Chain A
Amino acid sequence: MRALADFVYTFSWRLPGRRWRRLLAFAEAEAESALELRCAAAATSDPERAALYLKHAADEARHAEILQRRATLARGSAVSLPRRGHARLFERFGEPVFIAYVHRGERRGRRQFEAHVRFFERRDPALAAALKSILADERRHESYTAELLAGPLADGAPAARRRARRVDLGDRWRRVGSALTGPLFAVLMLLLYVLAAPLALGARGDRAGWRTHD
């Protein structure tokens, strides 16, 4: 089972030119997670949990920096993080579902990072060490979110876990759907663009100067 997981998680490392892109994608995910956690810290009514979320956010931001630096090294030239939004899970689903979702993500991340560390231990020890430092944090995050779900957020935790699973599956479905339908959409839009090309004849020219309004 572990061999299969290792193969699945590390497959794309084997593809030429993929390393920096994948590291950058990890950095993006960590940066987005940091933003999400800062919003959660602002939104939760409990100051202790707000502090936990802020500490977690600081870890995620640090991970993003480490991974971005590694992506730069792997590429051989600087890479910047594209700026994206985040899913606003706390705002959409409330705190228990948010934490259940974060817990799922941390558990999955921990498993993946274990596989990545095994993969790079001999191939690239420096990268393996960087990933190992992140892995230690992932374990801690997995643990504290589990404690929250068993403790202060225990009321309704099973339902929150089920909802988080549905949200997670929905996200994956949309990602797969987008990947599958993207090319079809591109072809259809190209066709529409060509068919509508005569409209270009009626397109207004770039009129300069003042237009006066009565």
Chain B
Amino acid sequence: MAAVLGVSAHYHDAAAALVVDGRIVAAQQEERLSRVKNDPSLPRMAIDACLALGDIEAAALDRVVFYENPYRKLERVMVGSFAAFPRGAGFFRRALRSQLGDKLWVLDQLAAHLGVKRERVSFVDHHQSHAASALDCAPFDDAVALTIDGVGEQESTAIWAPADGGPRRVASIDYPHSLGLFYAAITAYLGFRVNEGEFKVMGLSAYGTSRFDDEVNQLLRVAADGSFRLRTSAFDEHLRPDRAYGDELVQLLGPARESQRPWDLDSGEDRRFADLAASAQRALEEAVLALGRAAHERTGARHLALAGGVALNCSANARLLAEGPFERVFVQPAAGDAGGALGAALLGARSEGDAIDGRFDPALGVAADPDRAMAVARHLGLNADRVDDPEREAAERLAGGAIVAWVRGRSEWGPRALGQRSLLTRGDDVTLRDVLNRRIKGREAFRPFAPVVRDEHASALFEGAPNDMTPAMTTVCRAMDDSLPGCTHVDGTARVQTVGPEGALDGLLRAMEGHGQRALLNTSLNAAGEPLVAHVTDALDFFVRRKPDVLYVEDVRITR
């Protein structure tokens, strides 16, 4: 019986997770509290929040586990810079500065922040953390884990079999051959921010025609055994991490897109970039499918659990389920580096002898406080009052075309708003979608929104829904008809969320059915470039700045 804190930090999207007696008690991304998107810094606020949520003092922690081996990571960074001699001089300087200034001392930093003995702080492998988070949270047994990201210590991809002490590595592919690196380079080439704009590439790809397959296949080649190879001379990730691509990639694909220019998909130039996104997405999907088949061949498992940043590519996940060899596929919702904190905590709990409680609900973050929301709202000059039936009232407003900010319970773990910190509107009205994109969210017009529907109506509206990925929106499904144009993408798919009777949006969706609506458009409660809201003050800040029609914090209704 142990209390174990897992931590990820110092690359991007730092987080903390608390596992007590084998049960996941809390998990929190630092960005949600610091308000710095993808905050990589030591997650002090997230750690403190997890301890508070678990009602546990730091001194009572049996173990603190960091999600990767900082020493092996340093080795890989150094080797990479020497291998690029003499071009690696600048990278060597920058890398040593950050390694010696911060990263190398992370275990000591954790001990100092928590006031625990250094011996109680340990580390595990990066990809093993990912694998543990996927296997332990999956709703099935007889599974293999596939972890795919940019890079951990040395690996970019690995296949894992379940074992008593934690996932056992079956096979792996080493960096720089990395699907995460490939997609990051394409992301930067298209003018988006690496580690953030990957979702945009995926959304953009649906507007394109994959006419650059030949060129892209020169960058990423899939082998018969399911592995893949990058043309490494076209990538510069270890020398220019913010860009990831090299001059050779530009020679192959043409000039890169300027990052600040507004998108115009009617222009020939931006059509070319959309077509490139389509080819890159297609290449990634083929590579992921091949990896899935390889994982199945090597283990014979019936089910697949996915983690690592590439596992957030919901279009690839959908193809893996539809065309791959597995009966069921699950993605741990915080599949990126944040999720490593959860895996590290679970591995720590196993090593303390605890059996893992596989029940998993992504509402693991800080709780909403309606009393505080009401008090702060009134000091902001807003109208705030309690309502008897917020679901019924919100449904009436939504039916009338309102855009509703919705805060319920504990905040979400992972990048998707799942009804705890959501912006909602009708899914059958493209005008509302456009208002949401332009005025409220400030996003590119080509980015799609997602529908949310109760389990019992899912199969009538979306092919293959519900499945193990739809509760956390980590896959896409084809819409049965065109009744939800506001939240169906241009290719006819939607990143649908399905909600069971315990879901945060179940009551609201039931109330919507009284207005003839079986689904809603559900998007994250944040503006472009900002982290998802966590605290009620963040929700109020958003409400004041971005002006949705109404904000509900539990049973408190806030209007202007």
Binding site for B on A (CB under 8 A): 35, 38-39, 41-42, 47-48, 50-52, 54-55, 57-58, 61, 77-80, 83-86, 88, 91, 185-186, 189-190, 192-193, 196-197, 199-200, 203-204, 206-213
Contacts and interface: CB of A to CB of B under 8 A. Distances in A.
Given A83-B36, A208-B174, A213-B168, 19 more contacts: A38-B537, A42-B33, A42-B537, A50-B537, A58-B541, A85-B39, A86-B36, A185-B93, A190-B89, A193-B85, A203-B80, A203-B83, A204-B83, A206-B174, A206-B177, A208-B223, A208-B229, A209-B227, A209-B229
A26 B88 CA distance: 32
16 contacts: A39-B34, A50-B376, A51-B380, A54-B376, A80-B260, A88-B45, A189-B97, A190-B89, A196-B82, A200-B85, A203-B80, A206-B177, A210-B172, A210-B225, A211-B174, A212-B170
A193 B379 contact: no
Contacts of A189: 89, 92-93, 96-97
A91 B229 CA distance: 46
Q: Is the interface of B mostly helix, strand, loop or mixed?
A: mixed
Nearest to B93: A189
A47 B376 contact: yes
Interface in B214-251: 223, 225-230, 232
B544 A54 contact: yes
Contacts of A91: 44-45
B259 interface: yes
Interface in B1-50: 33-39, 41, 44-45
Contacts of A79: 260
Given A35-B34, A39-B34, A189-B92, A208 B177 contact: yes
Chain B contact patch, size range: 35 or more
Contacts of A58: 541, 544-545
B480 interface: no
A208 B29 CA distance: 33
For B34, B44, B223, the residue with the greatest tally of chain A CB atoms inside 10 Å of its CB is: B34
Contacts of B193: 83
Contacts of B82: 193, 196-197, 199-200, 203
B85 A85 contact: no
Contacts of B529: 83
B261 interface: yes
B170 A213 contact: yes
A192 to B, nearest CB: 8
A207 B178 CA distance: 12
A78 B85 CA distance: 34
B171 A211 contact: yes
Contacts of B33: 39, 42
A4 B227 CA distance: 67
A55 B375 CA distance: 15
A207 B154 CA distance: 11
A22 B34 CA distance: 26
A192 B230 CA distance: 31
A200 B227 contact: no
A213 B167 CA distance: 12
A83 B37 CA distance: 8
For B82, B223, B261, the residue with the greatest tally of chain A CB atoms inside 10 Å of its CB is: B82
B67 to A, nearest CB: 20
B485 interface: no
Nearest to B155: A211
B541 A54 contact: yes
Contacts of A77: 260
B79 interface: yes
A50 B80 CA distance: 47
Interface string B159-198: 0000000001111111011000000000000000100000
B294 interface: yes
A193 B86 CA distance: 9
B328 to A, nearest CB: 24
A18 B226 CA distance: 53
B434 interface: no
Nearest to A44: B537
Contact of B541 (A52, A57, A203, A206): A57
A83 B86 CA distance: 29
A96 B108 CA distance: 29
Contacts of A47: 372, 375-376, 378-379
Nearest to B529: A83
Pairs of residues from A and B, 4 with the lowest C-beta to C-beta distance, nearest first:
A78-B260, A51-B379, A47-B375, A203-B83
B538 interface: yes
Nearest to B535: A42
A58 B171 CA distance: 51
Contact of A85 (B41, B81, B223): B41
